[in-house]
Structure 1
Amino acid sequence: MIGLDGCFIKTPYGGQLLTAIGWNPNDQILPIAYAAVEAETKDSWRWFFLNLCDDLGVDKIRWCTFMSDQQKGLIPTFDELLPGIDHRFCVRHLYSNFRKRFPGVQLKMMMWKAAKATYVQEWERRMKEIQQVDQGAYNHLIEISAKYWSKSRFNYFPRVDTLVNNMCECFNSVIVEAREKPIVSMLEDIRVYLMNRWSDNRQSIVTYAGEILPKINKKIEREFDKGGEWLAIYAGRDKYEVSISQGNRAKKMCLDVKNYVNKCYRKETYVDYYQHVIYPLNGPNLWSQTENDDVLPPVFRKPIGRPKLRRNKTGDEPRNNGPLSKLARTGQQQKCSYCFALGHNKRTCPRKRKMEAAQNATAQAKKGAGTTRTPKFSKIPAKTTTQPATRVQPKRKSSTQVGGSQESQTSCKRARCSSSASQPQPSTATVTSPSRRTLRFMEKTPPRAWKALG
């Protein structure tokens, strides 16, 4: 089987890289041919296919099975050069076109079941199920011949029943960095990659001791495990009727299964694939000059908007391809980490919003009440005086009773002031009230002044 595909060249001049990729005996990709063309058209595919036939030979090409992504101009090329050749469509790309008109998981599963049907009766039954769900989807699929996309109509000769063109997609992902370089550097990077790959595969098969290749061995073991579910009943003339066994039967193999493995999956075939050497080349300074005309680049066409380096992905493809990519949240129910309720997250939690609103209202109330609030110390302490607290005023005889009484009152006030001054006061700044200022004035006023007032 040979897969045909075209990928974009990510340079200012654009272009397409046409590739032909096959499978090696160990179910790994085997690059066969690649070419850079201006666009993916009928003329470019015809030129590429003619060179492929000249290289491999028309007689060998007729026995090959080709798989494509329904590229433009490829089917007319097959009909013109090799009519009747075995050709298949990649079901994954076929579904990408199908889901644009008929989306839905149910139709997707039903279409893939019809593609995987191994006999005609099962395919017809699957198509009737699609018809019952959506008549338009049935009409769309019935217009595409089943020989292009269903296992029930595949040719048995290739011994390959794959439904997708993964071999070309794998090769395109390997050379994704090379496709961003100029044309000569791109072709040189691809050549060096193939030279290294051929050398590694040629050396690895030398130390392999088995006769059947590793990946084929794993497939045989899986099928051997499933073999216990089947029961073979001999009918005569080398004919058997095989059915599913009802009970658990012991696995008993009378013959060695590996003796019936085809030659194309054996070690000797793998050695023949990689016996040739891709020789190294000198640098561009030592390349010989040809007499042919120089190959000019395509006409530069500046696209509209910012150039895109990645293709537009479909709805069933993951958006991120990096190692730290996350799964999409589509179809998942959110759970709040604040109230642990379902249906919302912490950012939109209604309970959290009510709590924050109550806290804000309380803070605003406290802030408004703080403008009329009294100081922390309700009683302002008296300011200490420079005079000693034990100072005693000299006794003077008063001529009148009023003056004596006033003097006694003054001495009592002084005693109270001295007692308050002897007590330890806080080191905070004090504010003098009107009463304190009056007492201070009375202390500084001599007694004869009070007599004059009396």
Structure 2
Amino acid sequence: MKATIQEEMFANVSVRKLKRVKSIVMKKAMDETKGQYQKLYNYQKELLRSNPGSTVVINREVDMDPPVFKRIYICLDACKRGFISGCKKVIGLDGCFFKGATNGKLLCAIGRDANNQMYLVAWAVVHKENNEEWDWFLDLLCGDLKVGDGSGWVFISDQQKGIINAVEKWAPEAEHRNCARHIYADWKRHFNEKILQKKFWRCAKAPCILLFNLARAKLAQLTPPGAQAIMNTHPQHWSRAWFRLGSNCDSVDNNLCESFNKWILEARFFPIITMLETIRRKVMVRIHDQITTSARWNTAICPGILKKLNAYITKSAFSHAICNGASSYEVKHHDNRFTVQLDKMACSYRYWQLSGLPCPHAISCIFFKTNSLDGYISDCYSVTEFKKTYSHCLEPFEGMNNWPYDDRQPLNAPGYIKMPGRPRTERRREPTEAPKATRMLKMGTKIRCRQCK
């Protein structure tokens, strides 16, 4: 700070004065943060007034006087109806830290639209991420989305115990997948050779148990302990070979939640209401942008899906189909053979039933019969479904001075827990993880004296 002031303002300020200035600024920031908690009830009323049908729940700490904020859950009506109208029954769950003066964590539920892009369904601010908070969040979320017992639903998360317990309680019949990227990060600590990385991901993306066993056998040739360690991580929760059919989702990671955390990175520095409002406005703008973008599409299938299909069409050149005279085919792909039934939209490779998109083996059979893929792609990837999702728009919001008044006793900010050391604003990277791409490493730099060069 001293160097910046000297370089930009040509002023030589003592360190003692800089510390006083910093303490004044920090006090103002903390006062603004605490002041926004007192307006949360008014904010809740304005959300419900402007977007009727929304779910906004605020809890306070029990047996505390004056009342202290505990948590807030928001699921706007447009987000709720948009998800039910056109998204798959797939939900990504994750939590992220705040980076500013606000203390706590942001929980989020992210859906997938017809173009396999993120769709924010609900979000919540809690004091910390534990069993109680995830149980509360999943209870409200499952009620809003009418999940029932979870049959036909898919939840994707990291290995957070609170999420695992909450999903088992509120959606016992749902499929719960663990993010393979987190599984790999743990596994890599003991088996970090570069050659093993591709072998692991072949196991994760193998669509049937036969191919999983083949991939694991090749891994065992390089590292028998590593192959055994993979089985100890319960691959039925992160490998495609055990995923249930019919979800139209082949994802083995939770990258959409990570994308959302980065998308709201700036908002996570703000006080609580400013942060929540920034998220709401970003969602509002995104819905408008998606409506404008989709109006220019002139295909029946979303562009992101078409790009993936074109890659499969290219790979289908290596698949050779033989017809049995009806609707069944035998396909030779390199050294493997698979059976395809076009009338049932099924392939023994399992990818077609799992994702809703024909695999290269199925495409070779379809092109044996006709030159069009129409009718062989799941409707969940259509532009029509995409437009249904974004046909529900958020309603405009009044300024803070025009919010309806709530006569409940205003909430106070929760206690700020100051941890030792300088607060971190970036995620701690693993020792074997690649450094941030936008920053140049100083490793190998030669230090030279300014005087003697």
- Smaller-chain TM-score range? 0.5 to 0.7
Partner of 2:354: none
Q: Which amino acid aligns with 1:320?
A: K
Q: Which amino acid aligns with 1:102?
A: F
Partner of 1:213: 302
Larger displacement relative to structure 2 (271-280 or 219-228): 219-228
Q: Distance in 2 between matches of 1:177 and 1:281?
A: 21
How far apart are 1:59 and its partner, in Å?
3.7
Larger displacement relative to structure 2 (187-196 or 295-304): 295-304
Q: Distance in 1 between matches of 2:99 and 2:446?
A: 43
Find the residue that maps to 1:106 and give its secondary structure: helix
On the 8 A contact 1:212/1:258 being kept in 2, the answer is no
On the 8 A contact 2:102/2:272 being kept in 1, the answer is no
Q: After superposition, what is the alpha-carbon deviation per residue over 1:213-248, rounded to whole angstroms, capped at 9, x for unaligned?
A: 2122222222222222211111244211011379xx
Matched, 1:284 2:373: no
On the 8 A contact 2:101/2:270 being kept in 1, the answer is no
On the 8 A contact 1:13/1:299 being kept in 2, the answer is no
Gap change, CA 1:328 and 1:27, over 3 Å in 2: farther
Larger Rg: 1
Matched, 1:320 2:436: yes
On the 8 A contact 1:3/1:167 being kept in 2, the answer is yes
Equivalent residues, number: 329
Partner of 1:186: 275
How far apart are 1:347 and its partner, in Å?
9.6
Q: Distance in 1 between matches of 2:216 and 2:247?
A: 26
Find the residue that maps to 2:213 and give its secondary structure: helix
Partner of 1:137: 226
Give the RMSD, CA atoms, in angstroms.
Answer: 2.7
Q: Distance in 1 between matches of 2:415 and 2:382?
A: 49
Q: Of residues 197, 201, 215 in structure 2, which corresponds to 1:126? A: 215
Gap change, CA 1:327 and 1:164, over 3 Å in 2: farther
Larger displacement relative to structure 2 (146-155 or 178-187): 146-155
Find the residue that maps to 2:292 and give its secondary structure: helix
Find the residue that maps to 2:122 and give its secondary structure: strand
On the 8 A contact 1:65/1:86 being kept in 2, the answer is yes
Gap regions ≥5 residues in structure 2: 1-89, 336-363, 449-453
Matched, 1:267 2:383: yes
Q: Distance in 2 between matches of 1:134 and 1:245?
A: 26
Partner of 1:153: 242
Matched, 1:81 2:183: no
Q: Distance in 1 between matches of 2:318 and 2:141?
A: 45
Q: Which amino acid aligns with 1:204?
A: T
Gap regions ≥5 residues in structure 1: 335-344, 349-454
On the 8 A contact 1:14/1:38 being kept in 2, the answer is yes
**1:49-64 alignment runs, 5 A limit:** 49-59=138-148, 61-64=150-153
Q: Of residues 87, 95, 114 in structure 2, which corresponds to 1:25? A: 114
Partner of 2:159: 70
Matched, 1:168 2:168: no
Matched, 1:310 2:399: no
Q: After superposition, what is the alpha-carbon deviation per residue over 1:144-183, rounded to whole angstroms, capped at 9, x for unaligned?
A: 2222111111112112212221111111111001000000
Gap change, CA 1:131 and 1:182, over 3 Å in 2: same
Partner of 1:447: none
How far apart are 1:208 and its partner, in Å?
2.5
Q: Which amino acid aligns with 1:78?
A: V
Gap change, CA 1:151 and 1:291, over 3 Å in 2: same
Q: TM-score, normalised by structure 2?
A: 0.67
Q: TM-score, normalised by structure 1?
A: 0.67
On the 8 A contact 2:147/2:153 being kept in 1, the answer is no
How far apart are 1:135 and its partner, in Å?
4.7
**1:240-259 alignment runs, 5 A limit:** 240-244=329-333, 254-259=370-375
How far apart are 1:124 and its partner, in Å?
2.0
Q: Distance in 1 between matches of 2:368 and 2:94?
A: 45
Gap change, CA 1:209 and 1:123, over 3 Å in 2: closer
Larger displacement relative to structure 2 (103-112 or 163-172): 103-112
Q: Distance in 2 between matches of 1:295 and 1:9?
A: 20
On the 8 A contact 1:40/1:72 being kept in 2, the answer is no
Q: After superposition, what is the alpha-carbon deviation per residue over 1:105-130, rounded to whole angstroms, capped at 9, x for unaligned?
A: 23333222211222212222333444
Q: Distance in 2 between matches of 1:77 and 1:60?
A: 12
How far apart are 1:326 and its partner, in Å?
4.3
On the 8 A contact 2:154/2:175 being kept in 1, the answer is yes
How far apart are 1:38 and its partner, in Å?
0.7
How far apart are 1:316 and its partner, in Å?
4.2
